[in-house]
Amino acid sequence: MKQISTKTRSREDEIMDKFDFKGEELKNVLRTIDKINTKLGGHRVTIKGIQKLLENHSKKHLVIADLGCGSGDALRQISKWAKKQGINVQLIGIDANPFTIEIAREWTRDYKNISYRVIDVFSEDFDDFEADIITCCLTLHHFEDDVIKKLLPILSDKVSLGLVINDLHRHKFAYQLFKLYCSVFVNSDIARKDGLTSILRGFKSDDFENYAEQLNLKHHFKWYWAFRYQWIIYSS
């Protein structure tokens, strides 16, 4: 049996990181990822983070952007939640893969308050972008540590309230649990392989503390089942 280490973040690439990944295969993987995220309670981590940022604010109109939005599933869940709360929200999905954005638009036709943009956040196309909150759902782990340290100040600059990061806890038990889950519920080899790689690229609490210390961030993090971290970074 292959020995795994969770001491440091893996640098192994994920198949989904290729920007030419497209077509029915991409749709199938996105569909599988959305099902996994919903079944394992991933959306509540993001929505509870948004609620925390709104605790001391009475805004009735919000602009929320989701970085690395994938199929737009998180945005659709946020839209449903906001409607129940009576919050008028404009939602923007950002992804660097145009094929993913194409699918997100197709799957979000019934949501008039959600739009999508193909943007590289390190390009000048992102210079004038503004939002109240930026969410980052299962996206941060795709970046290496040095890129994360460049990215977080850029994102913090764009928001009036803060960032909500929802990502994976790098843990051996999480790895084994996901393998077991896949053996029963997941029939996509790509989703299975990328899911396991994602866990090994995930985070421990010390990672957040180190980023926050190095970048002088006001932050708060909380662990959720199943092996998720909610990391809130407050706007300065």
Q: What percent of the chain has pLDDT over 70?
A: 97
pLDDT > 80? residue 22: no
Query: How many residues are listed for the chain in this entry?
Result: 236
Give which of 97, 71, 72, 75 is closest to 17, Cα–Cα. Answer: 97
For the stretch 72-105, pLDDT in tens is 999 999 999 999 999 999 999 999 999 999 999 9
Residue with tokens 């969770």: 6
- Pair of tokens at residue 95: 């992804």
Going along the chain from its start, the domains and CATH numbers come out as: 15-234 (3.40.50.150)
Distance in angstroms (rounded) separating the CA atoms of residues 11 and 187:
25
Distance in angstroms (rounded) separating the CA atoms of residues 134 and 162:
7
For the stretch 172-220, pLDDT in tens is 999 999 999 999 998 889 999 999 999 999 999 999 999 999 999 999 9
